[in-house]
Amino acid sequence: MRRNKFAFSGINACFFTLLTLIGVGVAVPLNSQAQIHPVKPAKQDSLEKINALKEVQIKTIKLSRRQTSSTPLQILSGAELEKLNSLSVADAVRYFSGVQLKDYGGIGGLKTINVRSMGSNHTAVFYDGVQLGNAQNGQVDLGKFSLDNIEEIELYNGQKSSILQSAKGFASASSLYLKARQPNFEAGRSNRVKAAFRTGSFGLLNPSVLWQSKLGEHTYSTLSAELKKANGCYKYRITNGVYDTTAVRTDGDVETMRLELGLNGMLADSSKWSVKLYGYKDDQGLPGAIVANVFRFSQRMWNRNFFAQSAYEKKVGKYSLLASAKYSNDYMRYLNPDIVTTSGFLNNTYHQQEFYLSLANKLKINKYWDLVWSADYQRNHMDANLDRFAYPTRNTLLNVLATQLHFDRFDIQANVLSTLVSDQVKSGPSAGRKNELTPTVMVSWQPFDQKEFRVRSFYKSIFRMPTFNDLYYTFYQFTVLRPEYTKQYDLGFTYIKGYENRALSQFSIQADAYFNQVKDKIVAVPGTSQAMWSMRNLGKVEIKGIDVNIQSAWEVAQALNLSLGLSYTYQQAIDADPKSTTYKDQIPYVPLHNGTFLAGASYKKFAMNYSFLYTGERYDQSANIPKNYVQPFYTHDLAMHYNMQIQKRKLRLTAEVNNLLNQAYAVITNYPMPGRSYRFSLTYDY
Amino acid sequence: MKKMKAITRYACFLLILLSSFLGACRKDLQVIPEELVGILPADPSRQLQGFYLVNEGNMGMNKASLDYMDFSTGVYRRNMYNQMNPAQVNGLGDVANDVGIYGSKLYVVVNISNKVEVMDAKSGKRIQQINVTNPRYITFKDGKAYVSAYLGQVGVPDAPNGVVVQIDTASLKEEKRIEVGRQPEEMAVVGQKLYVANSGGYTPLNYDTRVSVIDLNSFSVVKNIDVAINLHRLKADKYGDIYVTSRGNYLDIHSKIYVIDTKTDLIKTRFDIGASNLVIDDDIAYFYGSEWSSNTGKFSLSYGMLDVKQEKILNTKFITDGTDAKIMIPYGIAVDKYTKEVFVTDARDYVSPGVLYCFDPAGKKKWSVVTGDIPAHFAMVYK
């Protein structure tokens, strides 16, 4: 128990230092004075301008969606995203507050996002407005999404605050939106080519190319292709203070190919359309748990994903329409040579298909009042070569009625979502039909005359359906499962301030306190044999948390710009089931404290970015006892950029160091993370 | 240049704070110490000096652990392996599947860690490990240890059969191995014959059904007895019979107990009763089992006793005080052959510490103690 006490005082020290840090972030800027360097918003001649979002100019400050959104919104976009040490979307989302990235390590390890401790199945991931589904296990491996073709990542707690959206947009506890690069041309040009080559640790070879073309006055095409090959090898260290061993992870090799084709444009009646084709293929090793006497793994996985999606947007007077459709076809093969059956190695194949259709309609009743009806239909089917497999088909119908009242200083939005789900199976019992009704209310309010300060709040009740794995996995006994429900209560504020005549040119803060409940949590319960489990609606979790984000921009001297960002998350996520053996204990892998610090500087052709990520102590199993204790970890990452221009052709050289201090750590127990690693890239843009 | 000054000041602040922040956050690593729990008054005269209890640990967590109940001092020592062997990289390992004492040595079969860990039975100090891929159970005879293992050859797709490995208990080296059925589980020696239950669990549509009989003199499979699908437990009584459990297919074919007469190697009797685990002491087999009910969507647990001399189910129970209602998942069972006390472990939800219960011969709970994760296998230390 002595150990535990120490842990507590240790963490308190961290917490208070972090608080002080935040304090400094707030206090110091207000004391400093400087000359005028007004911010000039960059002009872009592109579709982007057409898509330009409602922004209000106040002096030199723009109130962005971050400030006006009635649900907490965090954005990483454009230059900001390019500066970060990131290869995949997973690397980037680590910088968001309220988020835990479950990372099994290295290039090949699975990476999923858990927002506000409700579980990774509760975050929907959207790619260009349409959800990336996985009916099999409900999880999206963010490590598989390259940042190469991503322009913007947004994370909404609750849901996206814009009312005109597909019913799917209303149907998750939190949503991550990935936005592909939009066509963007310099004046007088109709083609743009961007090519990049990345290399470095893990035997990484990663060439990519992006070609945007203006096909007509209002028609654009985008072609993006990428190849990534890495042996995934890295050194890691394991120690208990007595033994201290360095070993090499040898089974995280990957080889991926991605090809994307996008077409979009505007018709004569100002309606917008887009089509996207996405193809992805990979062949990878599956890094396993490093346990005593086991350092190598022979399991492999192959994925092949394809989807085609299209969207259409039209506005006629008071009526707006948003329609989208998608077809996806995903194949996965898993090979385990450690399990030899009578017909050879265990070799499982899974094949999923999804068909999706969405219609969202908005009627602007008057200046202050909007009404929306969205309807989505989705059909999922799964085949697998498993014994006694159920071959499930799921039909989902989502209907949303939403309304918004918006006044100068007050904005309220409310909606009701109806979900109808029906499962059919070819063999065995089926989950049958489900019919659920869930509400959301959100408000945004400007209490004072200054537009810079806003208060926001939301309540959302939503659930996740049991996945195909939960219901029909062959080695589970079939049980009738209810959906896993979440309730979220959030209250927060945003504040932004621009300064003239000062070194500090902009300062913003957003902070939220929240209370979440997860009930009927779907958990696996074993029988008397490790081989036979059943899924049950058992768990209950209560989460009390605070997310704080502070950002500041500085203009220190001629051509020397600085940006500083700080995020902090406090989360008490406890097992709230009185019948549980670990009632009132913090749930696994959720630290009480975590935070990030980002600093960027640019001077003429040079830019530098430093990031610090801190994750506090956690437990890897439900009992909060010393043997389940996981050390805190913190990584320092550094990136240096050099930009040059040769006759309008932009060249950019980047060198990155990750985990600068070579800290030995693991996000998930027994999946050690890489020590210090390097990455170099060369980008050509014309 | 007022501005520069402000910036420098800010940067200094940050640097100082950041470094203090870092210094404060990670404490020195420590070996997780053994925990001592006083249970009973010291009883140095007791015939059962103590017993080792091996906790499997959930797969992938590397949390197999070793506890020792010391009756001579009355103290329960939780997590003693780490205490005794702190320098062993990654400790005891992942999923300990069996334990046995032979001579002065303690053997723990660690399934996912592909090893048999050998320790001094008195101190718990590690002697060495013997590498065996996917090992399951261990038994002993005439200076040799026999370990069943799921995989005979690694990386060969047309070699689904398992093996029994013979290890010399003096040199601690593998001497021979012999191919048996698919995914062999428990074993027992009767005379000069080693009986092995084969499960075939890797191919659920085509389970193995046989008990392999190995003649220990020639170390060859002399017979395969066809019993039932998915065999697991195999225990010998003192009358020359072995009790084998079939797990069924978890669907329409239910779990059963079969009795084989080793003189004829034929099935003598069958009990249509589910037994996940059993232990035989003198004339009594103590067992517990579970059956899945699709009506209630729950596993129903049952505890029972069987007279191995008469070969009939008894009406008596070894838990009579209602404690069985508290046990979520009975996972291990042992009997003190002198006092007839019964020890039962509860694995609870598999991901939090379990509980060990001691029942007196009348079935009343005497004491209980919190164990490691998934307490499962016992090795008794008699005087």
pLDDT in tens, A208-224: 999 999 998 899 999 99
The DSSP call for residue A588 is T
pLDDT attached to residue A25? 40
Interface test with chain A among B1, B2, B5, B7, by most A beta carbons within 10 Å: B7
pLDDT attached to residue A473? 78
pLDDT attached to residue A126? 96
- Partners of B21 on chain A (C-beta within 8 Å) are 14, 17-18, 21, 614
Q: Is B206 helix (H, G, I), strand (E, B) or coil?
A: helix
Split at pLDDT 50, 70, 90, the class of A469 is confident
Q: Measure the CA–CA gap between A20 and A14, rounded to whole angstroms.
A: 10
- Choose the weakest-confidence range: A523-527, A594-598, B153-157: A523-527
> Is the Cβ pair B299, A292 closer than 8 Å?
no
> Is the Cβ pair B330, A503 closer than 8 Å?
no
Rounded to the nearest angstrom, the minimum Cα separation between A15 and chain B is 9
pTM, entire model: 0.90
Cα separation values, A450 from A75, A455, A497, A590, B30, Å: 23, 12, 10, 37, 54
Percent of chain B with pLDDT over 70: 92
Tokens read off for A584:
């009132």
> Is the Cβ pair B131, A338 closer than 8 Å?
no
- Choose the weakest-confidence range: A133-137, A166-170, A660-664, B117-121: A133-137
pLDDT digits (tens, 9 = 90+) for A373-401: 999 999 999 999 988 889 999 999 999 99
Range from A16-25, A412-421, A602-611 that averages highest in pLDDT: A412-421
- Partners of B184 on chain A (C-beta within 8 Å) are none
- Partners of A429 on chain B (C-beta within 8 Å) are 294
pLDDT attached to residue A388? 83
- Residue A148 pLDDT exceeds 90: no
- A125 and A65 in contact (C-beta within 8 Å)? no
Region at A253 (left for phi over 0; alpha for psi -120 to 50; beta for the rest): beta
- Residue A308 pLDDT exceeds 60: yes
- B269 and B258 in contact (C-beta within 8 Å)? yes
- Partners of A288 on chain B (C-beta within 8 Å) are 60
**Measured between CB atoms, does A337 come within 8 Å of chain B?**
yes
pLDDT attached to residue A48? 44
- Partners of A632 on chain B (C-beta within 8 Å) are 25-26
Mean per-residue pLDDT of chain A: 88
pLDDT digits (tens, 9 = 90+) for B308-367: 999 999 999 999 999 999 999 899 999 999 999 999 999 988 888 999 999 999 999 999
- Partners of B288 on chain A (C-beta within 8 Å) are 528
> Is the Cβ pair A10, B24 closer than 8 Å?
yes
pLDDT digits (tens, 9 = 90+) for A567-579: 999 999 999 999 8
Cα separation values, A529 from A373, B147, B276, Å: 49, 21, 8
Helix (H) or strand (E) holding A329: strand A319-341
Q: Choose among B322, B326, B366: nearest CA to B39.
A: B366
Q: What are phi and psi of A6, to 5 degrees?
A: -55, -45
> Is the Cβ pair A528, B290 closer than 8 Å?
yes
pLDDT attached to residue A396? 97
Split at pLDDT 50, 70, 90, the class of B21 is low
- The nearest alpha carbon in chain B to A582 belongs to B352
Q: Measure the CA–CA gap between A127 and A130, rounded to whole angstroms.
A: 5
> Is the Cβ pair B89, A28 closer than 8 Å?
no
Q: Which residue has the higher pLDDT, A499 or A2?
A: A499
Q: Measure the CA–CA gap between A445 and B37, rounded to whole angstroms.
A: 58
Q: Choose among B348, B377, B345: nearest CA to B136.
A: B377
pLDDT attached to residue A658? 94
> Is the Cβ pair B87, A614 closer than 8 Å?
no
Percent of chain A with pLDDT over 90: 72
- Residue A36 pLDDT exceeds 50: no
Tokens read off for A215:
């096909």
pLDDT attached to residue B361? 97
- The nearest alpha carbon in chain B to A291 belongs to B62
Q: Measure the CA–CA gap between A310 and A323, rounded to whole angstroms.
A: 8
The DSSP call for residue A168 is G
Judged on CB neighbours under 10 Å (0-12, 13-18, 19+), B289 is buried
Averaged pLDDT, B164-190: 97
Nearest CB partner across the interface for B89, out of A24, A245, A669: A245
Rounded to the nearest angstrom, the minimum Cα separation between A342 and chain B is 6
Q: Which residue has the higher pLDDT, A43 or B46?
A: B46
Sorted by sequence, the CB contacts under 8 Å of residue B118 that are 6+ apart come out as: B105, B106, B107, B126, B127, B128, B129, B130, B172
**Measured between CB atoms, does A559 come within 8 Å of chain B?**
no
pLDDT digits (tens, 9 = 90+) for A44-95: 444 444 444 334 344 456 678 888 899 999 999 888 888 888 889 999 999 9
Give long-range contacts, CB 8 A cutoff, 24+ apart: B191-194.
B191/B262, B192/B216, B192/B217, B193/B222, B193/B262, B194/B139, B194/B141, B194/B146, B194/B164
Beta-strand relationship, A476-477 and A533-557: parallel
> Is the Cβ pair A6, B27 closer than 8 Å?
yes
pLDDT attached to residue A45? 42
**Measured between CB atoms, does A558 come within 8 Å of chain B?**
no
Domain A2-189+199-221+229-301+330-685 class? Answer: mainly beta
Radius of gyration of chain A (CA): 25
Helix (H) or strand (E) holding A3: helix A2-31
Rounded to the nearest angstrom, the minimum Cα separation between A510 and chain B is 21
What DSSP string runs through A107-138? TTS-EEEEETTS-GGGEEEEETTEE---TTTS
The DSSP call for residue A46 is B
Tokens read off for A136:
């099999």
Q: Measure the CA–CA gap between A521 and A146, rounded to whole angstroms.
A: 32
Nearest CB partner across the interface for B204, out of A243, A387, A623: A387
ipTM field: 0.92
**Measured between CB atoms, does A525 come within 8 Å of chain B?**
yes
Averaged pLDDT, A127-136: 90
**Measured between CB atoms, does A52 come within 8 Å of chain B?**
no
pLDDT digits (tens, 9 = 90+) for A558-568: 889 999 999 99
pLDDT digits (tens, 9 = 90+) for B268-321: 999 999 899 999 999 999 999 977 665 666 678 899 999 999 999 999 999 999
Interface test with chain B among A627, A631, A634, by most B beta carbons within 10 Å: A627
pLDDT attached to residue A35? 34
Cβ atoms within 10 Å of A147's Cβ, excluding its own: 20
